Structure 1
Amino acid sequence: MGILDGLMGNASEADLQAVEKDLENIVTENERVEKAFKIIRDLIVFTNKRLILIDKQGMTGKKVEYHSVPYRSVTHYSVETAGTFDMDAELKIFISSTAHPISKQFRKDKSIYDVQKALATYVNQ
């Protein structure tokens, strides 16, 4: 991923070894990181057991929220592509028993499709 892509909000595949090292206290013994996408400082991580949404907060990014979603809890998801004047694309993930979807913003590029394909692969297993 180029630095400009990261600053623009374009998702790109993250280095799996680095992600595994960062998540060594989060993943379980029989769980492995299989795919990960970085959006600026945040991550969308697909393991063999669940989806982990990582939100780095604050100026330094030391405060981190780990939102863990078992794949069986994803009821549906949607992709809203960017238009001519609208520069943002949006991925919405609907979780059972929640009123509002999890929403992630992407810039006008093709990376939202890569994330959507990974989500389709893991949710439909």
Structure 2
Amino acid sequence: MFKKLAADALGLSDIGKVIEPQDYDKTEADDYVLHEKGEKIYFIIKTKADEYCFTNLALIHVDGDSAVSKKRTLKRYDYKYNTIYNVSLETAGTIDLDVEIKFVIGEKVFSIDINKSYAEKIKDLYKSLISIERIMKENDKHKNYMLDSLDYATKTLSSQGFSQTQSPSESFKEITEYTNSWLNSMSDQYSNEDFGHVFDLYLKN
């Protein structure tokens, strides 16, 4: 009992371990993966309180109140709607027991401690997340270019007026339909929903 209380006080009870693929089905997170939609687990970190499940589509966080409570809250962060940024990795020193991976997804800040025996595996997760961050930054840059182009086109059209061969209502409808179609096309081009190809590159399951 004393060892357990000491571990909780020092924060050692919440140092995570990496779950092997053959044990994914033994985790709580696995129950919430959208297998029917082609969602696939690539990496799971498990502490006594939490599970952090990285899939090709999202981060699934099984959030525990404490290491001694059975209460859990499920939180899902789809990559399509939540940008990953500020990814960093703190490696273990000589006397450290853990490594720490940090990142922000959406507006949520994560800082996860993992036993340093899994350091090599965590390096691969770091490479995956930093690569996803770079892709998302590129997508955001192109989206800004897209909006700037649309603004320029709108101002140019306004200065030139409507077509002389169409009524204003017909011209407006044609422009609106084209703009909507173009925006949807550009949005799809620069929005990634599935990052399985990135995880496949770095994670050797």
Q: In the TM superposition, what is the alpha-carbon distance from 1:60 to its structure 2 partner?
A: 4.8
Worse-superposed segment, 6-15 or 32-41: 6-15
How many residue pairs match? The answer is 115
- Select the residue among 1, 9, 12 that pairs with 2:15: 9
Could you say which residue in structure 2 is the equivalent of 1:104?
112
Under a length normalisation based on structure 2, what TM-score does the superposition of the two structures give?
Answer: 0.44
Question: What runs of 5+ residues in structure 1 fail to find an aligned partner?
Answer: 1-5
Could you say which residue in structure 1 is the equivalent of 2:101?
91
SS in 2 for 1:17: helix
> Structure 2: how far apart are the matches of 1:113 and 1:71?
24
- Select the residue among 61, 82, 91 that pairs with 1:53: 61
> Is the 8 Å Cα contact of residues 91 and 112 (structure 1) preserved in structure 2?
no
Could you say which residue in structure 2 is the equivalent of 1:32?
40
Q: In the TM superposition, what is the alpha-carbon distance from 1:35 to its structure 2 partner?
A: 2.9
SS in 2 for 1:115: helix
Q: In the TM superposition, what is the alpha-carbon distance from 1:59 to its structure 2 partner?
A: 5.9
Could you say which residue in structure 1 is the equivalent of 2:73?
65
User: RMSD across aligned C-alpha pairs, in angstroms?
Assistant: 3.1
Question: What runs of 5+ residues in structure 2 fail to find an aligned partner?
Answer: 1-11, 133-197, 199-205
Note closer, same or farther for the CA distance 1:78–1:110 as it changes in structure 2 (3 Å cut): farther
Under a length normalisation based on structure 1, what TM-score does the superposition of the two structures give?
Answer: 0.66
Q: In the TM superposition, what is the alpha-carbon distance from 1:78 to its structure 2 partner?
A: 0.5
Greater strand percent: which structure? 1
Identity rate, percent = 23
